[in-house]
């Protein structure tokens, strides 16, 4: 199970992750970044991507001899006053340290970044136009940052190759980081970042057509749906909005035809439907997990020295029976 990749130091991995989506984009209440750090030097050869760090994911990580985990949700959120194996969350931290596994969590920094989780989720509806955040960040510095798409990564790799660097991070890490920063901060790269996404469909769909697209995109057999008052499954959809995870506060009073989220409170669903808006809910982590496959492709291009895996044991705890 030992990776054939030669690996790269943990600080260099963190430098690339920071360039993809700066941690300052995260919400103030969030706990993002490097949460568990083995003693130096720590070389990352194999990295596990997961939505949540659970015991099955931990066992999978150890089985495949991964040196690092990127857990979308932070496994450490509140302060730990002790580390005991009898406590599930504390025991996960213990196992990471004992097996020299670093843990990084991006969470809301990936939610608000362009080409991040919410841009991935809104794409469930197909071809779109005028895609923008539901609530844009006010920080003028933040709007210069976004995740590079795969074409931009390949273009940057080509530029680095022309300068004598065969691939990102195979040469001077500071040089590569400066090139990433230049690309991210160029005028053509300035885009709005913020919470949720709203968009117009390039071609109108019926509610049932939009629903089937969402189910297919997320690979789910069922999605919970609340039809807006005065609407039917054959009613036309022209505008949509999404918020990965819990969408109640972000989507509240957003004037579109359909909301897509993982979960919303009972009363927020009633509020939306009373205004003629249809709500589609796919459970919290189901609205986020599929993004990991796209992140795996992107990171594999940026860090060819590291082998990336998407956890096969990570799953939403709620199922329909």
Rounded to the nearest angstrom, the gap between the alpha carbon of residue 260 and the centroid of all alpha carbons in its chain is 16
Strands annotated E in 1-152 = 8-9, 33-36, 43-44, 46-50, 68-71, 102-105, 128-132, 135-136
- pLDDT at residue 183 is higher than 50: no
Contact call for residues 173 and 12 (beta carbons, < 8 A): yes
- pLDDT at residue 136 is higher than 80: yes
Task: Supply the pLDDT for residue 201.
Answer: 98
- pLDDT at residue 304 is higher than 70: yes
CA distances from 114 to 100, 156, 157 (A): 32, 18, 20
Mean pLDDT, rounded, of the chain: 88
What is the spatial distance between Cα 166 and Cα 72, in angstroms, rounded to a whole number? Answer: 30
Tell me which of 150-159, 199-208, 243-252 is least confident.
150-159
- Half-sphere CA count of 304, side-chain side, radius 13 A: 10
Q: What would the mean pLDDT of 230-243 be, rounded to a whole number?
A: 98
What is the spatial distance between Cα 219 and Cα 196, in angstroms, rounded to a whole number? Answer: 21
SS3 of residue 3 by DSSP: coil
Contact call for residues 115 and 183 (beta carbons, < 8 A): no
* Residues 152-172: tens digit of each pLDDT: 666 655 555 554 444 444 444
Task: Supply the pLDDT for residue 48.
Answer: 98
Task: Supply the pLDDT for residue 155.
Answer: 62
Cis, bond preceding 41 (omega within 30 deg of 0): yes
Residue 35 main-chain phi, psi, to 5 deg: -100, -30
Task: Supply the pLDDT for residue 140.
Answer: 40
DSSP string of 139-181, one letter each residue: -TTGGG-BPPPHHHHHHHHHHHHHTT-SSTTSS-HHHHHHHHH
């Amino acid at each position: 199970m030992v990776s054939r990749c030669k690996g790269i130091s943990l600080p260099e991995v963190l430098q690339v992750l920071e360039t993809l989506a700066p941690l300052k984009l995260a919400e103030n209440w969030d706990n993002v970044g490097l949460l568990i750090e083995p003693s130096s030097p720590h070389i990352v050869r194999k990295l596990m991507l997961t939505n949540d760090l659970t015991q099955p994911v931990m066992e999978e990580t150890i089985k495949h001899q991964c040196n690092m985990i990127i857990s979308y949700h932070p496994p450490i959120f509140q302060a730990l006053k002790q580390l005991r194996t009898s406590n599930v969350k504390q025991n996960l931290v213990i196992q990471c340290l004992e097996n020299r596994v670093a843990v990084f969590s991006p969470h809301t920094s990936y939610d608000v970044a362009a080409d991040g989780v919410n841009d991935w989720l809104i794409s469930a509806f197909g071809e779109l136009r005028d895609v923008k955040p539901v609530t844009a960040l006010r920080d003028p510095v933040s709007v210069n940052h976004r995740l590079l798409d795969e074409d931009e990564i390949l273009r940057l790799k080509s530029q680095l190759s022309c300068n004598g660097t065969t691939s990102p991070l195979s040469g001077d890490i500071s040089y590569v980081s400066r090139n990433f920063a230049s690309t991210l901060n160029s005028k053509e790269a300035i885009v709005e970042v913020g919470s949720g996404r709203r968009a117009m469909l390039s071609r109108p769909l019926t509610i049932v057509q939009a629903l089937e697209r969402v189910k297919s995109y997320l690979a789910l057999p069922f999605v919970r749906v609340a039809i807006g008052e005065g609407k039917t499954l054959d009613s036309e959809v022209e505008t949509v909005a999404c918020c990965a995870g819990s969408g109640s506060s972000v989507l509240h009073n957003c004037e579109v035809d359909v909301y897509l989220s993982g979960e919303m409170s009972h009363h927020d669903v009633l509020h939306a439907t009373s205004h003629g808006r249809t709500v589609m809910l796919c459970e919290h982590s189901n609205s986020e997990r599929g993004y990991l496959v796209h992140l795996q492709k992107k990171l594999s291009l940026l860090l060819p020295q590291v082998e990336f895996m998407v956890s096969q044991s990570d799953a939403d705890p709620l199922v329909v029976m």
